[in-house]
Structure 1
């Protein structure tokens, strides 16, 4: 997977601070990119705040162990701040049933209270990102990883609310690299997810689009990756570079990338 970093101009020792990297997948699973960036930052010694909305901690830890990482120990050391987003909907349910929870902060309070904002969700990120251990220090490079933002749309948030959340994260942590996955199958008519991806693309410095093959399943080529790099601030000359399209094959502990049509099965 190291060659992927080269294609997007990413160096683990000097990550793209302040950049927003958007990951999208359609008709295939792009979560391997989430695991790639998670392991890359952690192995380089950077702090990571991981908002997991799609899977449990045990799932991510099982995959990380194949990549040589123990997320439990990294969480205990303070290098990894793991936020279990699967609990957000349970918070809403318990708040309506258990009166003893009245007054406790709820991350997605805006789903049941029209007067509430998306700020409580951002506060969860802010509090988790605050240095707690490791001698109360910051390594200088930090990743906010979100898997995946489309879950918030499924729970009932509007595109505007999700974008406000992303804006809060960018504005309050300008030196933090933000990487988020949004799942959107192109064969499904989902206007909200499509609108979310469109707006995120305008804010993103790099977009990685994972797509299934038009020809269907292949044993030797599992999908296609399109890399689009741009400057959303408009301050860089020739800021929109030509897109790069690669194909990939997922192995047990890694992913190999190659130019379109150069698979070992073809050559």
Structure 2
């Protein structure tokens, strides 16, 4: 499969993170102990789990919630259909963005050469509905000791009424021991 475990995080206004074990919870919900008549591709029970986790506890009025979905493609590996995964993201978006005035961040790996049509469909659909896309990739020219890859930042202003063209920013990066250094293309130590 080659995909990382599904991890979901909820960010609260006080800088705290609430961790939801997405893969374990997903397995419990989809392949629970009792026999379920619903199809594996039906993610309603998983959304109910996420919605319950988003519900504020007595006296806790979270504002600005951010739901981070780490490696959404794992749901495809578990047998969920791309349409069901997109429906799940849509319902999460309504719950977090519309009702709670928060945001959703989704990680999906993409490799055009992989031949995984379902994953590419998921990536394409999510890209069309996203306001901001961060696309990290290796260098097209190959290995370089001072530059490990390139980051494209696409701001989707065309989604808004009267929106202009989407803006694209390109940065290169080098992964260091405890952080990542970003710089404009052509400004790495190897070039200078």
* Fold in common (TM above 0.5): yes
| Residue 137 of structure 2 corresponds to residue 137 of structure 1 | no
* Displacement of 1:80: 2.4
Counterparts of 2:79 and 2:154, CA distance in 1: 29
Higher helix share: 1
Task: Give the alignment's TM-score, normalised by structure 1.
Answer: 0.60
Distance across 1 between alignment mates of 2:186 and 2:112: 23
Q: Offset of 1:86 from its aligned partner?
A: 2.4
User: Are the equivalent residues in 1 in contact too, given 2:76–2:119 (CA < 8 A)?
Assistant: yes
Q: Secondary structure at the match of 1:225?
A: strand
2:89 matched to 1:157? no
Q: Are the structure 2 counterparts of residues 84 and 242 from structure 1 closer, same or farther at C-alpha, using a change threshold of 3 Å?
A: same
Q: Which has the higher contact order (CA 8 A, sep 6+)?
A: 1
CA RMSD of aligned residues (A): 2.7
After TM superposition, the structure 1 = structure 2 runs for residues 39-118 of structure 1, keeping only pairs within 5 Å, are: 45-46=14-15, 79-88=16-25, 90-91=27-28, 95=32, 101-102=33-34, 113-114=38-39, 117-118=42-43
How far apart are the structure 2 equivalents of 1:186 and 1:115? Answer: 26
In 2 relative to 1, CA 169–141 (structure 1 residues): closer, same or farther, beyond 3 Å?
same
Would you say 1:171 and 2:94 are equivalent positions? Answer: yes
The correspondence of residues 1-267 of structure 1 with structure 2, limited to 5 A, is 45-46=14-15, 79-88=16-25, 90-91=27-28, 95=32, 101-102=33-34, 113-114=38-39, 117-132=42-57, 135-138=59-62, 140-173=63-96, 174=98, 175-231=101-157, 233-238=159-164, 240-267=165-192
Deviations 1:188-242 (A, max 9, x none): 111111111111111100111111112222221111011111136431431x333
* Structure 1 residue ranges without an equivalent (≥5): 1-28, 30-37, 47-78, 96-100, 104-108
**Aligned in 2, Cα 1:159/1:116: closer, same or farther, shift over 3 Å?**
closer
Deviates more, 1:215-224 or 1:191-200: 215-224
Deviation (angstroms), 1:124: 1.3
Further displaced range: 152-161 or 226-235: 226-235
Gaps of 5+ in 2: 4-8
Maintained 8 Å contact 1:202/1:232: no
Structure 2: how far apart are the matches of 1:221 and 1:119?
A: 43
TM-score normalized by the length of structure 2? 0.82
Q: Could you tell me how far apart the structure 2 residues matched to 1:45 and 1:116 are?
A: 36
Alpha-carbon distance, 1:123 to partner: 1.1
- Number of residue-to-residue matches in the alignment: 181
The Cα offsets for residues 120-173 of structure 1, whole Å up to 9 and x where unpaired, read as: 11111111112237x4221x2110000111111111111100110011011122
